[in-house]
């Protein structure tokens, strides 16, 4: 049994016989042509035939995969219509009296070399686009038929030097169980498409073409990036088991994607995602997020030379609200200062930035900046289910002042005739112990709480979370933290309000059962944790966990809590 290692490009296990996808040698000879006009016409015809072929592939991809994947072929079509490519080729045929094949080869090689020389993985991949397009036109010029993967009607794994995007699109998952390529990386077109098609793939295997014959039984382990040739019985059995386990998990998670989050005893909780930009929405929807529990707006302000305008902010907030289609969307107003700085906002250096002028404190100090954000949010509110959240609230006065500004801007907009939603909930982050302790008072005025665990832990334990030497004090399961969390949740429920949690603790395997028992209403985490959390919650009973709460809160240390929950 032989083993080849490569790069894991798409999850899953495939077991089937090998099918070698040979790349026909397209040799280009330099020839002199007398009738250059006829040659240019011949070239034009090959380009047109290629365009027609690409239109078909593009359409097929849009129908069978997605518009997003089809866009790759839109780019190929643009390359074929590119004046900077076509122009030099026809000039070359004309001026040097050479054949179209040679002119095409020379010109495209120049672009391929240029892209490959770039110090950027992404740009290097663009070289593959140019090669793919060139090969297609060249085949038409030479009258060579390129091997067509869509003709395969046997269960196989495909072995190839490389797969062009147009090859990959023709791979029918019904027959093609997986593929291996000798070149490429995780961001190659073929790797991306494999993940979309959900077929296992290993790329960058280097020696697959030179060592695998047609018909050899091959195991592709797309989880580990391993390839096994001619496996013995025991190995085959082992991988069949691994294949089933993977399929089971995938099926369970896929089933959960469009499901509500319900515990074993039938209690519903909400699983939301934390995002930083509108682009993160894709991940939220792909992972079945029921809400945005935290939209960090500071990314709008970062990496630029001046404040974002009201319009820019409106565009971003509207995009997120529209994308969520009326699902709850909690937007946190600007949380800057502390470890997050803006180059265009010169703030005096502070000895204790985490305890200094940041977040809501800064916004109340600079009301014009704050009002711009509030106006953008209010204007966007008609596009979805907006909830506004103020960060770093320490006193009720701060909340009242921030809310007053919000209501002022709302009244102003309405007098200008701008439509604003009337059902915007206004809540606060609970990340300062004073606020957690006073939660019962806050609960009378706010619409919701969202517990920011990273800061709540840092302020409760008086341990700088950037300081490695005190990192042992970052203890999410410390009973002190859990008791504060309980205080906040209970206070909100007493007033008929709700409590969420953003920060990684909400997606933590040990914390989830505890938080469920404490009555947390909304868990917000990184999108990739959602399905796992939903699966875990479906196996937990809320009533059971409530029964453990008193004991857990009575434990003495973080370690005791962790051990107790692990043994449940």
Partner 1 sequence: MVEKTFTITDPAGMHARPASALVGSLSKFQSDITMEFKDKKVNLKSILGVMSLGVPSGSTVQIAADGADEAEAMETIERVLQEQGISNE
Question: Would residue 551 show up in a list of annotated catalytic residues for this protein?
Answer: no
Report whether 23 belongs to an annotated binding site.
no
- Taking the complex as a whole, the smallest distance from the CB of residue 279 to partner 1 amounts, in Å, to 7
Q: Which two tokens stand for residue 472?
A: 């042992």
Burial of 269 by CB count in 10 Å (0-12 exposed, 13-18 middle, 19+ buried)? buried
The Cα 248–Cα 255 span in angstroms is 11
DSSP percent split of the chain into helix, strand, coil, nearest 5? 55, 15, 30
Which candidate in 76, 363, 383, 502 is catalytic?
A: 502
- Taking the complex as a whole, the smallest distance from the CB of residue 120 to partner 1 amounts, in Å, to 6
Beta carbons of 499 and 521 less than 8 angstroms apart: yes
Enumerate residues 6+ apart whose C-beta is below 8 A from 64.
none
Report whether 332 belongs to an annotated binding site.
yes
Report whether 368 belongs to an annotated binding site.
no
CA angle 291, 409, 343 (to 5 degrees): 75
Question: Would residue 548 show up in a list of annotated catalytic residues for this protein?
Answer: no
- Taking the complex as a whole, the smallest distance from the CB of residue 292 to partner 1 amounts, in Å, to 17
- Taking the complex as a whole, the smallest distance from the CB of residue 112 to partner 1 amounts, in Å, to 10
- Taking the complex as a whole, the smallest distance from the CB of residue 129 to partner 1 amounts, in Å, to 8
Which candidate in 140, 189, 363, 383 is catalytic?
A: 189
The Cα 552–Cα 542 span in angstroms is 15
Look at residues 217, 218, 215, 222 and name the one whose alpha carbon lies nearest to residue 243.
Answer: 222
Q: Which two tokens stand for residue 57?
A: 């592939």
Angle between helices 83-96 and 36-64 (to 10 degrees): 160
Buried b (16+ CB within 10 A) or exposed e, 154-191: eebbbbbebbbbbbbbbbeeebbbbbbbbbbebebbbb
For tokens 């019985």, name the residue: 233
Pairing assessment for the beta strands 7-10 and 13-21 based on DSSP bridges: unpaired
CA-based end-to-end distance of the chain? 43
Enumerate residues 6+ apart whose C-beta is below 8 A from 409.
371, 374, 375, 378
- Taking the complex as a whole, the smallest distance from the CB of residue 89 to partner 1 amounts, in Å, to 12
The secondary element (H helix, E strand) that includes residue 18 is: strand 13-21
Q: Residue 249 or residue 343: which is nearer to partner 1 going by CB?
A: 343
- Taking the complex as a whole, the smallest distance from the CB of residue 87 to partner 1 amounts, in Å, to 9
Q: What are phi and psi of 499, to 5 degrees?
A: -130, 130
- Taking the complex as a whole, the smallest distance from the CB of residue 247 to partner 1 amounts, in Å, to 32
The Cα 205–Cα 216 span in angstroms is 16
The secondary element (H helix, E strand) that includes residue 85 is: helix 83-96
Q: Residue 112 or residue 510: which is nearer to partner 1 going by CB?
A: 112
Residues paired with residue 429 on neighbouring β-strands, in sequence order: 450
Report whether 419 belongs to an annotated binding site.
no
Enumerate residues 6+ apart whose C-beta is below 8 A from 511.
476, 477, 505
Pairing assessment for the beta strands 261-262 and 268-275 based on DSSP bridges: antiparallel
Beta carbons of 279 and 316 less than 8 angstroms apart: no
Q: Residue 128 or residue 432: which is nearer to partner 1 going by CB?
A: 128
SS3 117: helix
Report whether 296 belongs to an annotated binding site.
yes
Residues at the site binding partner 1, with contacts judged by CB under 8 A:
71-72, 74-75, 78-79, 81-85, 111, 114-115, 118, 120, 122-123, 126, 129-130, 277-279, 303-305, 308, 311-312, 315, 319
Helical H segments across 416-510, by residue range: 433-437, 439-442, 453-460, 479-494
- Taking the complex as a whole, the smallest distance from the CB of residue 346 to partner 1 amounts, in Å, to 19
Helical H segments across 221-303, by residue range: 233-257, 281-286, 298-301
The single-letter DSSP state of residue 145 is P
Report whether 454 belongs to an annotated binding site.
yes
Q: Which two tokens stand for residue 399?
A: 């909340």
Buried b (16+ CB within 10 A) or exposed e, 300-319: bbeeeeebbebeebbbbbbb
Q: Residue 123 or residue 411: which is nearer to partner 1 going by CB?
A: 123
The Cα 115–Cα 70 span in angstroms is 22
Q: Residue 20 or residue 126: which is nearer to partner 1 going by CB?
A: 126
- Taking the complex as a whole, the smallest distance from the CB of residue 285 to partner 1 amounts, in Å, to 16
Order of strands, edge to edge, in the sheet holding 156-160? 2-5, 226-229, 217-221, 13-21, 156-160, 176-181, 201-203, 7-10
What residues are designated binding site for phosphoenolpyruvate? 296, 332, 454-455, 465
What residues are designated binding site for Mg(2+)? 431, 455
| Residues belonging to the active site | 189, 502
What residues are designated binding site? 296, 332, 431, 454-455, 465
């Amino acid at each position: 049994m032989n083993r080849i290692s490569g790069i894991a490009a798409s999850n899953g296990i495939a077991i089937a016989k090998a099918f070698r996808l040979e790349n026909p040698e397209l040799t280009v000879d330099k020839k002199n042509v007398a009738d250059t006009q006829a040659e240019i016409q011949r070239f034009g015809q090959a380009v047109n035939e290629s365009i027609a072929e690409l239109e078909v592939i593009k359409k097929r991809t849009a129908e069978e995969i997605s518009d997003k994947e089809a866009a790759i072929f839109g780019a190929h079509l643009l390359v074929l219509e590119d004046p900077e490519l076509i122009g030099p080729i026809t000039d070359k045929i004309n001026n040097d009296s050479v054949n179209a094949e040679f002119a095409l080869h020379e010109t495209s090689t120049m672009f391929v070399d240029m892209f490959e020389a770039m110090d950027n993985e992404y740009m290097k991949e663009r070289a593959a686009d140019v090669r793919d397009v060139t090969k297609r036109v060249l085949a038409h010029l030479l009258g060579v038929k390129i091997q067509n993967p869509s003709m395969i009607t046997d269960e196989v794994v495909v072995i190839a030097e490389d797969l062009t995007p147009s090859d990959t699109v023709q791979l029918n998952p019904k027959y093609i169980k997986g593929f291996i390529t000798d070149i490429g990386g995780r961001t190659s077109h073929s790797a991306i498409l494999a993940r979309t098609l959900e077929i296992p793939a290993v790329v960058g295997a280097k020696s697959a073409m030179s060592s695998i014959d047609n018909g050899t039984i091959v195991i592709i382990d797309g989880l580990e990036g391993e390839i096994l040739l001619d496996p013995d019985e025991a190995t085959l059995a082992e991988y069949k088991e691994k294949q089933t386990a993977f399929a089971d998990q995938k099926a369970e998670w896929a089933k959960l994607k469009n499901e509500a989050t319900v515990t074993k005893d039938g209690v519903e909780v909400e699983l939301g995602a934390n995002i930083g930009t509108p682009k993160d929405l894709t991940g939220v929807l792909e992972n079945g997020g029921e809400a945005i529990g935290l939209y960090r707006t500071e990314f709008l302000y970062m990496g630029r030379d001046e404040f974002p305008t009201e319009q820019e902010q409106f565009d971003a907030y509207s995009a997120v609200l529209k994308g969520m289609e009326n699902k709850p969307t909690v937007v946190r107003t600007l949380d800057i200062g502390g470890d997050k700085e803006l180059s265009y906002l010169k703030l005096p250096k502070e000895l204790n930035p985490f305890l200094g002028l940041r977040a809501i404190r800064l916004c109340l100090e600079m009301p014009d900046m704050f009002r711009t954000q509030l106006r953008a949010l209010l204007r966007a509110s008609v596009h979805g289910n907006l909830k506004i959240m103020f960060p770093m609230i320490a006193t009720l006065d701060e909340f009242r002042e921030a809310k007053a500004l919000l209501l002022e801007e709302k009244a102003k907009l309405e007098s200008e005739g701008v439509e604003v939603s009337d059902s915007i909930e206004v809540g606060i982050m609970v990340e300062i112990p004073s606020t957690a302790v006073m939660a019962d008072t806050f609960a009378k005025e706010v619409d919701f709480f969202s517990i920011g665990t990273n800061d709540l832990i840092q302020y409760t334990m008086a341990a700088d979370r950037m300081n490695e030497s005190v990192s042992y004090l970052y203890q999410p399961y410390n009973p002190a933290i859990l008791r504060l969390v309980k205080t906040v949740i209970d206070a909100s429920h007493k007033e008929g309000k709700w409590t969420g949690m953003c920060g990684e603790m909400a997606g933590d395997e040990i914390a989830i059962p505890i938080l469920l028992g404490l009555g947390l209403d909304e868990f917000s985490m990184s999108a990739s944790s959602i399905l796992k959390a939903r699966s875990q919650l479906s196996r937990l009973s809320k009533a059971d966990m409530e029964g453990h709460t008193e004991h857990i809160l009575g434990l003495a240390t973080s370690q005791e809590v962790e051990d107790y929950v692990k043994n449940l």
